[in-house]
Amino acid sequence: MFSHLALVGATGAVGGLIRRLLEERNYPFERITFLASARSAGQKLAFRGTEHTVQLLRPEAFDDIDLCLASTPDDVARDFIPDAVRRGTLVVDESGAWRMDPTVPLVVPEVNPTAVDGHRGLIASPNCSTTQMVVAMKPLHDFGRIRRVVVSTYQATSGAGVAGQRDLTQGTHAFLHNQAYEYETFKHPIAFNLIPQIGSPKQDGYTSEEIKMVLETRKIFGDESLRICPTCVRVPVSNCHSESILVETDRKISAAKARELFHDAAGISLIDNLDAGEYPMPMHCNDSDDVFIGRIREDLSCDNGLSFWCVSDNLRKGAATNAVQIAELLIERGLSAKRK
Mean pLDDT in residue range 158-170: 96
pTM: 0.96
Going by the DSSP 8-state scheme, the letter that residue 278 receives in this structure is: B
**What pLDDT score was predicted for residue 335?**
84
Q: What is the pLDDT of residue 336?
A: 67
* pLDDT of 277 above 90: yes
- Report the distance separating Cα 73 and Cα 91, nearest Å: 15
Determine whether 241 is an active site residue: yes
The predicted model gives 96-123 an average pLDDT of: 97
Q: Which of 286, 128, 295 is nearest to 216 (CA)?
A: 128
H or E element at residue 26: none
Domain 130-314, CATH among 3.90.1660.10, 3.30.360.10, 1.10.10.10, 1.25.40.10: 3.30.360.10
**Extents of the domains making up the chain:** 4-125+319-332, 130-314
Mean pLDDT of 261-290: 98
CA–CA gap between residue 232 and residue 209 (Å, rounded): 7
Taking the C-alpha atoms of residue 180 and residue 174, their distance in angstroms, rounded to an integer, is 6
- CA angle (155, 160, 162) in 5-degree steps: 120
What pLDDT is recorded for position 1? 80
CATH topology (fold) of 4-125+319-332: Rossmann fold (3.40.50)
* pLDDT tens figures, 178-219: 999 999 999 999 999 999 999 999 999 999 999 999 999 999
Query: CB atoms < 10 A from the CB of 332, how many?
Result: 12
User: Is there a contact between 115 and 86 (Cβ–Cβ < 8 Å)?
Assistant: no
Out of 4, 119, 128, 232, which one is annotated catalytic?
128
263 given a catalytic annotation: no
Mean pLDDT, residues 78-83 taken together: 96
Specify whether the CB–CB gap between 324 and 25 falls below 8 A: yes
Check pLDDT > 60 for residue 177.
yes
Check 68, 240, 241, 285 and give the catalytic one. 241
Whole-number pLDDT of residue 340: 47
pLDDT tens, 33-46?
A: 999 999 999 999 99
pLDDT greater than 80 at residue 337: no
293 within 8 A of 280, measured Cβ to Cβ: yes
pLDDT tens-digit readout, 312-334: 999 999 999 999 999 999 999 99
